[in-house]
Amino acid sequence: MIERRELIFVGGAAHSGTSAVARLLDAHPRLLALPAAARFHSDDRGMPALLAGQIPLDEFVGQFRDRWWNGAGGLGEVGDPSLLERELGGFEDAYHRDPLAACRELFLSLTAPLSGEHGLVETSPGNLRQAQALVRLFPEARFVHVVRDGRDVAAAPDGTGLAAGIQDWAGKLREIDAAIRGEEDGAAHPVAPESLALVVLDELVAGERAGSYEELLGVLALDDDPAMRWVLDQELGPQQVGRGRWRESARGLAGWALRRRYRRTLIELGQEGNHAARPLLDAYEALG
């Protein structure tokens, strides 16, 4: 059953609304969103670095206990410590025989008790940036890339300012696009188009909501469900996700200049062939 489980990896640039989309998916009776981000499978110093030979096995195991299990927000807050030690012990032996199979089994064995018979929705920050590694580990998985207006991303409380924030946001989109296409390090593990759903948060909460919602259901092979509709209607509105918050920091001439900068950034991304550029530009032109 563990080998056949349904896996959905949700990701995107920080502050793009991944938790909101995960909450929507969690409402489906077939799915369950992991209550804590696993992270060890997609952090920069996690499984991708281990499989690439960038960190030794003992360092990965040590980080697992100290950071991903016992650290703040780690799986240890919801998982069984005895299960961890048992699985890590078997993992170290299995890794030398078949690294990919060992990493896959570790992830599935530690997350299965948390989701039971439900399909798993996982929202670690690095999911899309490490898409190549995840395709190798979980060829059956589907991916959801959540994007939103880059001005709202830049206006997050811990941001670096609106202009610099848009530049940083665009850099993240470029990084994710390269990972999805499988263009880094000569790898040949792109995410198949039929396994990737792109969700523009602005459209989902304020634009052509029905079309955006139905497209997501289609890629994930989900039936429409009243509980999901309720979350969409009652919990995912413009105010609840902070749509347009950038306007509080850029009024008048500053707002006009930021709109020009943002549109120019979207056009540049489109010229580069970025998969998220056209949907974001469409949302900008429709919603402002």
Structure tokens at 143: 């991916």
* 258 assigned to some structural domain: no
Q: In this predicted structure, what is the pLDDT of residue 182?
A: 87
For 79-94, write each residue's pLDDT tens digit. Answer: 888 888 899 989 999 9
For 219-278, write each residue's pLDDT tens digit. Answer: 999 999 999 999 999 999 999 999 999 999 999 999 999 999 999 999 999 999 999 999
Q: Domain range holding 66? A: 7-245
* 208 assigned to some structural domain: yes
Q: In this predicted structure, what is the pLDDT of residue 185?
A: 55
d(CA 261, CA 245): 17
Torsions phi, psi for 207 (to 5 deg): -105, -130
What's the chain's Rg over C-alpha atoms? Answer: 19
Q: In this predicted structure, what is the pLDDT of residue 5?
A: 75
In one-letter notation, the amino acid at residue 27 is: A
SS3 content of the chain, % helix, strand, coil (to 5): 55, 10, 35
Q: In this predicted structure, what is the pLDDT of residue 1?
A: 40
Ranges of residues in the chain with a pLDDT under 70 are 1-4, 183-187
Q: In this predicted structure, what is the pLDDT of residue 186?
A: 57
* 271 assigned to some structural domain: no
* 230 assigned to some structural domain: yes
Q: In this predicted structure, what is the pLDDT of residue 4?
A: 61
Distance (Å) of CA 137 to CA 2, 101, 199: 14, 8, 24
* 272 assigned to some structural domain: no
* 36 assigned to some structural domain: yes
Burial class (CB in 10 A: 0-12, 13-18, 19+), 266: buried
Q: In this predicted structure, what is the pLDDT of residue 253?
A: 93
Give the CATH number of the domain where residue 97 resides: 3.40.50.300
Distance (Å) of CA 202 to CA 87, 143, 209: 41, 19, 9
* 259 assigned to some structural domain: no
Tally of domains within the chain: 1
DSSP single-letter state for residue 156 = S
